[in-house]
A and B are shown apart, each in its own frame.
Chain A
Amino acid sequence: MSKKHLENADMELAMSRVDGRVKVTGAAKYTAEVQLPELTYGVLVESTVGQGVITSIDTKKAEWAPGVIAVISHLNTPGVPEYKLQNQDVIQKQLRVFNDANVYFNGQPIAVVVADTLERAQYGASLVKVTYSKEKSFSNLKDNIARAIVPKKAKADPKGMTSDFIRGRAEAYKDAEFQVNEEYIQPSEAHHPMELHSIIATWDAEDKLTLVDKTQGSQQTAASIAKSFQLPAENVKVLSTYVGGAFGSALRVWPHEIVAILAAKKVQKPVKLVLHRNQMSYMVGYRPYTLQKVAIGASKDGKILGLSHESYGKTSMYEEFTENVLIMSRMMYDIPNVDTKYRIVPLNVSTPAPMRGPGEATGSFALECAIDELSYKLKMDPIELRLVNYAAQDPDKKIPWSSNFLKECYQLGADKIGWNKRKAEPDSIQDGEWKVGYGVATGTFGAFRNAASVKATFKPDGTLLLQSAIADIGPGTATSMTAIAAKNLGIQPENIAFQLGNSTFPKAPMQGGSNTVATVGSAVVATCDNLKVELAKRAAKQKPEWNNAIPKNISIVGTQLVNSDEPSSKVEIASLFKEDNLSELVIKGDAAPGEESKKYSFYSFSVHFIEAHVHELTGVVRIKNAVSVIDCGTVVSPKTARSQSMGGIVGGIGMALMEDVVIDDRTGRTVTASFGDYHVPVQADIPQMEMMFVNEKDPYLNPMGSKGLGEIVIIGVAPAVANAVYNATGKRVRHLPITPDKLI
């Protein structure tokens, strides 16, 4: 049997990123780089108290400063019409920016200074003097755990992931012979994509708005803004041609975007607003600080009898943020008794946001460390323990997996990292001054699909333009979509262009939750099939055999249309445009999921292996080797898939070893907001990485056979690191990040 899985060595021949050149040469213009005539610059003034009421804003000095055009706050805002409506969604109650004098978190935008240059706006902002009636603020989750609440969402959706849940019996772990019962803490993590959040707002008319904006969904941003400003949906146009990473931080409209639009209204000119790096850690969401309690009980043979999992996450005072921290505990392993409890704690912090692997990355840290802890109690190999509890079908929904190649993942990864070198006894491999350990952990994330459309413009010269509103926040969407179209049609990738990030293009969901390939890819396939049908129809006028051609057998080879069933029926592409003198063919395709999710449970899976070295005296951790094995169905674009997976490992190492948004609870102010204090991995922290893809088709999700990839590449990496560190040192760190001070 020939090998199907893909590994590093297979990538060389794969297609490269179609926009690689424009990105590395700087030709790709990101939002903050876009220049418009008469552009003005907005700089935010933020609150310096964690809770209170603004008693005065002295803007005189700022207004007199050179170049300053306006200073806008709740005192003179043109207003957001939606804020005045009564029927605001009670669960997603966004911060009503500049609506009143209330301050809910330290760093809240409370005014904006608009000037003719960025520097003048910055200086102007430094001159605005604000006084407050200050109240005590609460930002520490542990100290305020008594304020924990059941999210409203749980009441609205009693079967959902945030509701209290029991399968079998609650707390059944207590009856088991071997038990683990521990508390795990994941601190807040900032998304910190390389590109700063930026927006340029232009009012083209009284009721017409164009935004150049960093967003993961041009159409969703347009719809949200249209609602806020009570504009006809078609009057808001959003462009996000290039997005320099987001990881979830651009899945919604944030206050700074509303501010830019308000400012542009006030000054009647386009306003550019770019966040400061520090503001990126409290103005555009973050992975929330989460405390989890996990208890597992198993019998001697490793069979888990009971699992209890509780989660307490931070949210803001004005909005309830929830995520699926507990989903993995419900579906990953075949456990008869599972109970989960999800709570949130409203604090004087800004609202969190989904961050790569939202919920699951946090949940898997606790669950997969607890499983590892159990393996030591049982004296059982942690892979073996997972296999003993392998779920042959989804134990939560009680339906079959659409596909599940976890066993293959364990096998491939164990071979690759050399799992046999691992010693069951912790702290038993020494390499000079370094202690060596191996760790493994599993990740999973739902494989989703939504509805989307794609527009194709096909020219007589054989070139194809495809358009979709979808964003590309970095995974290489244009590349994978080009690969799908090239494969479907036979056209060379260099003759295909894929345009995206424009709200006026055909419908697409947000780029989030790893659904782009499944969703937009399906629409690309539908569009290509439609195009082939149209071409066959035209060809049939020359050669009637084409009447019987089916899309699967039709392809474009060079300048010709070919039917593999009837090789002799070739026609010249250009000839198909002649009859009605068309200069181009415009074809649309739609695709939407069907009923398959009722019959099958759709998940992607990943298994991560880490070799960690820990210095015996200084506690420094070096990751020496990382192997991720991924079950994401068919890989449509191997190189970009590999890049995604690399990014996941890097993000997971950051989460495990260094990322930490620290708040000074006396003031609610973030003390690790700058890049000097908030550490993300640098090149020297990143080891040799091997990314392996099982590359087995999922038969049910979509025509390509692909499942999502973007999230599972990070979910499970942090616990794999923590487990490797334990194996190396015998020290179990349950409070991330694992910095040297925790290991000495």
Chain B
Amino acid sequence: MNNFQYKRVSSPIAAITELAKDPAAKLVAGGTNLIDLMKYGVMSPDKLVDVNHLNFNEIVKQDGSLHIGATVRNAVASANADVLKYQPLLSQAMLSGASPQLRNKATMGGNLLQRTRCGYFYDISAPCNKRQPGSGCGAMGGYNRMHAIFGASSSCIAVNPSDMNVALTALDAVILVTGPKGDRKIPISDFHRLPGTHPELDTTLDRKEIITGIVIPDNAFAANTTYIKVRDRASYAFALISVAVAMELEGTTIKDIRLAMGGVAHKPWRLKEAEQMLKGKQASVENFKMAAELAMKGARAYEHNAFKLKLAPNTMIQALKTASGIKA
């Protein structure tokens, strides 16, 4: 790890100023991702600006939405009574990520910005367009079992590893940010990017902006949500495939539904076509299967991840069954 300065700031302005002043500065929150990447030599900021003392640590149920501050710990948010009551999907997704120790440190803002777990991104002796633009993609012709089946480009096939982000995507969350040009609200589906020709950019957040919080609009999904994560062991592993379902049922009719998938793309993958198809339909395994087939349109596999073409729809069917309680 390189030598770096550490600066603790107590106002958003001060944080923004530090970022504006020093292009090699980075914010640090829980540090569970950034410090790891620094130890591997993947990232080497010369200054860490500590956001833990900004006042972004509240969870507030407002009229029409739930607001969660950027520095709220994943452990705190997932156990919060309002989160459990209004957005249980988010809690479930967060609890399926990492370990209790990590969730005690990890923040909402940091989780939104956690970087890919692609082994070639982590190994500084390997080429990686995300780590070193122009150096090539190690994963494309390498070991790509964990990699994307949607939205990849010829420069990057990495996936976003977050569980929380998948739930937030299904819940139409909005990311609140502030920066030199003032405040912005970014819908989560516009927050994370596809790799295109610039895989070094994970999100649309400007380098000088900071996340202050997340807003989730109220919905009528709480009774029928689920997050299913398929992984290589029972806990403490990243998703091979994960699916978030939030649905509103009227009897056995699907009045409204949100679907998002993890482990499949450079960003949490919203399944709008499948949602459209299911809306107004009967909750039945037959319809779930049709929706899952639709969801897989455009999927493309690489040498080691072809199984995802089957595991993804299977997991989606399972998630729909679990969320609806419909078994047949």
Contact = CB atoms under 8 A, between A and B. Distances in A.
Q: Are A and B physically bound partners?
A: yes
Interface of A: 48, 119, 122-123, 126, 433, 615, 617-620, 622, 657-658, 662, 664, 666-667, 669, 671-672, 674, 676-677, 679, 681-685, 737, 739-742, 744
Contacts of B28: none
Nearest to A620: B230
B1 A119 contact: yes
Given A671-B123, A676-B238, A677-B117, 12 more contacts: A123-B1, A615-B318, A617-B315, A657-B232, A657-B233, A662-B143, A667-B126, A669-B123, A674-B119, A684-B234, A741-B145, A741-B240
Given A123-B1, A671-B119, A682 B126 contact: no
Contacts of B153: none
B137 to A, nearest CB: 12
B134 interface: no
B3 A123 contact: yes
A684 B235 contact: yes
Contacts of B126: 664, 667, 669
Given A618-B318, A658-B233, A685-B234, A126 B311 contact: no
A530 B199 CA distance: 74
Given A620-B230, A671-B119, A48 B125 contact: yes
A123 B38 CA distance: 11
A737 B145 CA distance: 14
A48 B123 CA distance: 10
A658 B232 contact: yes
B240 A679 contact: no
A620 B233 CA distance: 8
Interface SS of chain B: helix, strand, loop or mixed?
loop
Closest 9 CB pairs of A and B: A741-B307, A684-B234, A48-B125, A684-B235, A617-B314, A671-B119, A617-B318, A618-B230, A671-B143
Contacts of B233: 657-658, 679, 681-682, 684-685
A488 B263 CA distance: 60
A448 to B, nearest CB: 34
Nearest to A737: B232
Nearest to A126: B41
B67 to A, nearest CB: 32
Most buried by A among B2, B145, B232, B311: B232
A48 B127 CA distance: 12
7 contacts: A123-B2, A617-B315, A658-B233, A664-B143, A669-B126, A672-B119, A741-B308
Nearest to B2: A123
Contacts of B315: 617-618
B246 interface: no
A122 B234 CA distance: 34
B141 interface: yes
Contacts of A685: 233-235
B235 A744 contact: no
A618 B117 contact: no
B29 to A, nearest CB: 20
A618 B314 CA distance: 6
A678 B142 CA distance: 17
A679 B237 CA distance: 8
Contacts of B318: 433, 615, 617-618
Contacts of B236: 682
Most buried by B among A667, A671, A676, A742: A671
Nearest to B39: A122
A679 B232 contact: yes
B117 A676 contact: yes
A433 B310 CA distance: 17
Contacts of B123: 669, 671
Interface string B112-143: 00000101101101100000000000100111
Interface string B1-18: 111000000000000000
Contacts of A672: 119, 143
A657 B232 CA distance: 8
B83 to A, nearest CB: 23
Contacts of B138: 664
B72 interface: no
Contacts of B117: 676-677
Contact of A666 (B142, B228, B232): B142
A665 B254 CA distance: 49
Contact of A671 (B142, B237, B311, B317): B142
Contacts of B232: 657-658, 679, 737, 739-740
B235 A682 contact: yes
A666 B136 CA distance: 14
Contacts of B234: 622, 682, 684-685
Most buried by B among A679, A685, A744: A744
A744 B314 contact: yes
Contacts of B317: 617
Contacts of B238: 676
Contacts of A433: 318
Given A682-B236, A740-B240, A666 B125 contact: no
A674 B122 CA distance: 10
Nearest to B120: A671
Nearest to A681: B233
